[in-house]
């Protein structure tokens, strides 16, 4: 872990994090989640959502849904000026640990086919490219890569 990432704490999502999250979301995604989408994660029995905090400042967030024994990663996002500090890696590591503890045996996600940063991050955890959803993203019709981590238990 890099020096900067060590000062970051990961905490469960709280309502007062959402304003900052929505701002990072708007800066980071072509199809941003709404304020309400994040609120829905708060009370979702099958969701796990973690916020990366530097002191009180939100610097990233990530979530997954547990569907039977599969973990579906829904988002991993780091504040633009805090990327390449190891925060994304901490978020994925923590989410997968949580999924494991809650009985998941495998994990999956969708990612834009051109998103090399995210693909590199997921591959470093053992996710492999398993399929393509053509024209999946409505803002620019970019393809989605479907990735799977087939055995979460190792």
Ligand X SMILES: CC(C)(COP(=O)(O)OP(=O)(O)OC[C@H]1O[C@@H](n2cnc3c(N)ncnc32)[C@H](O)[C@@H]1OP(=O)(O)O)[C@@H](O)C(=O)NCCC(=O)NCCS
**3-state class (DSSP) for residue 64:** strand
The alpha helices in the chain, defined as continuous H runs, are 3-6, 18-28, 35-42, 87-101, 116-123
41 included as an active-site residue: no
Please pick, among 25, 85, 122, 142, the residue that the annotation labels catalytic.
122
Q: What is the largest CA-CA distance in the chain?
A: 41
Contact between 111 and ligand X by CB under 6 A: the answer reads yes
Which listed residue (48, 61, 64, 85) binds ligand X by CB under 6 A?
85
CB of 40 to ligand X, least distance (A): 17
Interface size with ligand X, residues (CB under 6 A) = 20
* CA distance linking residue 20 with residue 41, whole number of Å: 15
Instruction: Specify whether 136 is catalytic.
Output: no
Please report where in the chains the tokens 């959803």 appear, as a residue: 133
Q: Is the dihedral of CA 25, 93, 50, 55 positive or negative?
A: negative
Site for ligand X in 35-54 (CB under 6 A): none
Task: Choose, by CB under 6 A, the member of 18, 48, 87, 96 that binds ligand X.
Answer: 87
Q: What are the catalytic residues? A: 110, 122
Q: Which spans of this chain sit near ligand X (rule: CB under 6 A)?
A: 28, 75-78, 83-89, 111, 115-118, 120-121, 124
């Amino acid at each position: 872990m890099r020096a900067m990432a060590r000062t970051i704490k990961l905490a469960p999502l709280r309502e007062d994090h959402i304003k900052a999250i929505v701002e990072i979301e708007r800066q980071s995604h072509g199809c941003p989640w709404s304020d309400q989408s994040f609120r829905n994660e708060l009370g979702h029995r099958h969701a796990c959502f973690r916020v990366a905090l530097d002191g009180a400042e939100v610097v990233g967030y990530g979530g997954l849904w547990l569907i039977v024994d599969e973990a579906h990663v829904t988002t991993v996002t780091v504040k633009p000026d805090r990327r390449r500090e190891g925060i994304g890696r901490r978020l994925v590591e923590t989410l997968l640990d949580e999924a494991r503890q809650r009985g998941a045996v495998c994990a999956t996600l969708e990612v834009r086919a051109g998103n090399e940063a995210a693909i590199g991050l997921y591959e470093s955890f053992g996710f492999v490219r398993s399929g393509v959803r053509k024209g999946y993203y409505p803002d620019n019709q970019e393809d989605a890569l479907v990735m799977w981590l087939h055995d979460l238990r190792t």
